[in-house]
Amino acid sequence: MQSCGCGCYVRNVCVSILLYADCVLLLAPSVQQLLYECDKELQCLDMSINVKKSVCMRIGARYNINSSRISALNGGEIIWPNDMGLGVQITASNNKFCCLLCNSKRSFNGGFNCIFDKVGGIASENVIIELLKAKCLPGLYYELQACPLNKSQSEVWSTY
């Protein structure tokens, strides 16, 4: 990717492609050019971009500008949503990286309600707390480590 010169650089290091599990995150000022370069490399491996699972998102001062259509080499079009899931829920925003925490809170509350419904009248408080720690808190911890919190989000999370 360095040879095409279309990616993002931090202290002269190309950070255009970030990989995590089966996710690929492309960072570029020109999405179409970087996507084209990746698509060419994938074709060499007899692979292609799955446009049904791919999205483009702009974060920064121009986050809400109507974006041009982005197409993969196989002809599929990639959409521009307002938010996307990448382990955590990321939202398009002005000038900063921002996460939506509602899914994690919903998952935590649903997990707690399920545990309490099943064992609330039977188990001791200590057992319920240990189940809560083991089954409900890991999702919250993951999201809180991955996403920077603003002041209002910090105040809400301090109640959990």
Lowest-pLDDT range, 65-74, 95-104, 112-121, 146-155?
Answer: 146-155
pTM for the full predicted model: 0.55
- Using alpha carbons, select from 85, 102, 112 the residue that is nearest to residue 153: 102
What is the per-residue pLDDT for 86? 63
Calculate the dihedral angle through the C-alpha atoms of 102, 108, 111, 113, rounding to the nearest 10 degrees: -90
Q: Is 42 left (phi over 0), alpha (psi -120 to 50) or beta?
A: alpha
In the structure encoding, which two tokens stand for residue 69, read together?
A: 């259509």
Residues 8-30 pLDDT 10s:
777 888 788 877 777 777 777 77
* 31 pLDDT tier (thresholds 50, 70, 90): confident
State pLDDT tens for residues 126-158: 998 899 889 888 877 776 666 666 666 665 555
